[in-house]
Amino acid sequence: MGKKRKKSEENNILVIVESPAKAKTIEKYLGKGYSVTASMGHLIDLPKSRLAVNIENGFEPDYITVRGKAKILNELVKKAKKSEKVYLASDNDREGEAIAFHLKNAISKKNGKVEIDRITFNEITPVAIREAVSKPGDIDMAKVDAQKARRVLDRLVGYSLSPILWKKVKNGLSAGRVQSVALKLICEREKEVESFIPEEYWTLEAELKKGRSKFRALLVEYRGEKPKIKNNQEVLDIIGALKRYKNFMVKDIKVTEKTFRPRPPFTTSTLQQTAANRLNYTSRRTMRIAQQLYEGVNIGSGRVGLITYMRTDSTRISNVALNAARKFIAENYPGELPEQPQFYRSKKNAQDAHEAIRPTYVEKTPDEIKKYLTLEQYKLYSIIWERFIASQMKPSKTATTTVLFSAGDSLFRAASTVTVEKGYQKILKLLANREKEKRIPQMKVGEEVECVKFHPEQHFTTGPSRYTDATIVKALEENDIGRPSTYAPIISVLLDRYYVRRQNKQLIPTQLGRIISEILSDSFPDLINISFTAEMERKLDEIEEKKIQWSSMIREFYEPFSKQVAHVTSTLESVKGTLDEPTEYSCELCGRPMVKKLGRYGYFLACSGFPECKNTKPIPLADCPRPGCDGKIVERRSRRGRGRGKVFYGCTNYPDCDFVTYDKPTSQKCPKCGQFLVEKTDKQRGTYKACINPDCDYLHTVEIEDQNA
């Protein structure tokens, strides 16, 4: 039989973190004498089945053990009883502080003698963890109060608004304080997109030649004015007038230099925006991968936390990290090391609780550890590492040569941009500038070049773009709506509730989302608006800064809000009946009339004989454009192959009529031929409308034959 372990060898110090992955990494760093375990997030919270806020007694919340988490909590309490000391190491933010607070209370109730301390860190590295353990502190009650205020505020709003939606709109709906404002932004943008009608305009380029070099110049002045070419005939008239000029003369040459400073290290918002634009990652996906990199990845020698905490609104970095970055640059890019370190201002109202998002070890380059990472981990780590190192390098410089050419009473312009000094661009790979440099041959004022041919091009004015993950996060941050930890959840909630759907990376409100947004915005204009939501966020910050009391803030909000809820509940007309609209369609199964109903995924047709007849079908969007076909165009989804689930639009007379389009029909008809307009999207023009009729030129690109023959 083996000998019993000595007391000193027992794991007599318990460290409680939030996730198992983080626990494994930290336990490796602390070694013998420590046991690290995970709480798996919140263990104590408000119940879902009732309001659980005592309005009569200072709005105190009635917390319970989260359903399904009792076993975890009991295990933690048992482990704490066997330990000499407990360190609560949940995340260093409001939610993490609340988790630590509730854990301390739960453990203390069962064992009031055990010593319980709070430890925090910004990165999971041996140095940071050991320093945190050497300097334990108390729970920050101001943070706990701020989290409590946010939780109570959201509960009061959600549990007041949702019943109104159940009663007046549809059962099973829900509304949130911040999500409703984000939904309003998306719905307002959709109205702008739908109401926009593109206008046609043309540009004209001349293809010029010097020696063997050919390049293009854009018409920028015609008969003393900036050209406004509205249609095909106007551009042909200009080409006809210019055809007699075989040579263009160089009238002016200007060289301008530009300096581009590197961008600051990432915050949560800028990381989500860049990952969306560069990597096509959703905000939820970005934060999931960042969490993995923060908590620790096995890179051969063991688990290592590769980045600092990923929920931050600060661009600040520590002196240790700054010196490490400058040392790396001095050794690998000595010519790009500035004399002095570079500092960046955080945005106004930034909490600045954490550093910027940066690599924990700058010497662990993306290529060096690539073999240990998944592809998505590698890509996200790469842009974090590149952005951080680049932020401490010299600026890049470009030189742009602009040449003006004259031809009669017309001026054409050509430009050439070259990089003079690469600076921080030397370190960039995934974040490198994607635009290719344009070059034109060297010329002198007074010199003539040959005009080879003209290139007219049709364009249409572009309307506002729908929000994407990147742009809605930017809008939320700019309007001070939400905080770094909430940007991704806001989008996820809207998608999960099917108030918004994602298509071609764009966020589009559903019919259900638009109805809810309209009702809430009209009924609670003071609540569902940007300025009020931003003010609430500022007050939560003031609670954390100990400037105001949480209960006073809630009371100030709740008294007028509760009166408005009572007023809306008694006066708002129910739209439940209006959502079921009679139609001209008959049920092909039983002959009874079909009614238009609103479901989770939008409007559909249902037999009025329900529940005896359960026939349903899609809403017709337009008449079939095929000659002689009396069918209707409806939304369908692919059921087979790689494109399974993809939306397309087809004729109800299929298979007799096989008309199909992937462009969504709109309610607008073509003023030229009367057929319906469809919504199209491409990289050059964004979202625009065009006639479904291929023989109609309304809002279509016009092909122009060579006018130089």
| Active-site residue list | 309
Amino acid letter, residue 498:
Y
Burial of 169-204, coded b for 16+ CB within 10 Å and e otherwise, reads: bbeebbbbbbbbbbbbbbbebbeebeeeebebbbeb
d(CA 705, CA 695): 18
d(CA 323, CA 152): 43
Q: What is the Cα Rg of the chain in Å?
A: 32
**How does strand 200-210 pair with strand 448-460?**
antiparallel
3-state secondary structure of 520: helix
In a 13 Å sphere around the CA of 507, the CA atoms on its Cβ side amount to 30
The residues, any chain, with a CB within 8 Å of residue 514's CB and separated by 6 or more, are 187, 190
Handedness of CA 435, 440, 445, 447 (dihedral sign): negative
Query: The tokens 């890179």 sit on which residue?
Result: 299
- Residue 308 burial (10 A CB sphere; 0-12, 13-18, 19+): buried
Question: Phi and psi dihedrals of 650, rounded to 5?
Answer: -135, 170
In a 13 Å sphere around the CA of 345, the CA atoms on its Cβ side amount to 3
d(CA 101, CA 140): 9
d(CA 366, CA 508): 36
- Of 597, 511, 575, nearest to 167 by C-alpha is 575
d(CA 202, CA 456): 7
d(CA 359, CA 271): 13
d(CA 45, CA 40): 13
Handedness of CA 376, 379, 383, 388 (dihedral sign): positive
3-state secondary structure of 447: coil
d(CA 556, CA 93): 25
Contact 527, 561 (CB under 8 A): yes
Which pairs with CB-CB distance under 8 Å and at least 24 residues apart come from 643-652?
647/503, 649/621, 651/624, 651/626, 652/620, 652/624
Which 8-state DSSP code applies to residue 665? E
d(CA 361, CA 2): 42
Which 8-state DSSP code applies to residue 37? E
Q: What angle do CA 494, 496, 498 make, to 5 degrees?
A: 70
The token pair that represents 182 in the structure block = 């984000």
Contact 356, 270 (CB under 8 A): no
Contact 282, 380 (CB under 8 A): no
- Of 339, 306, 342, nearest to 322 by C-alpha is 342
Contact 483, 312 (CB under 8 A): no
E strands of 223-313, at which residues?
Answer: 247-260, 297-298, 303-304
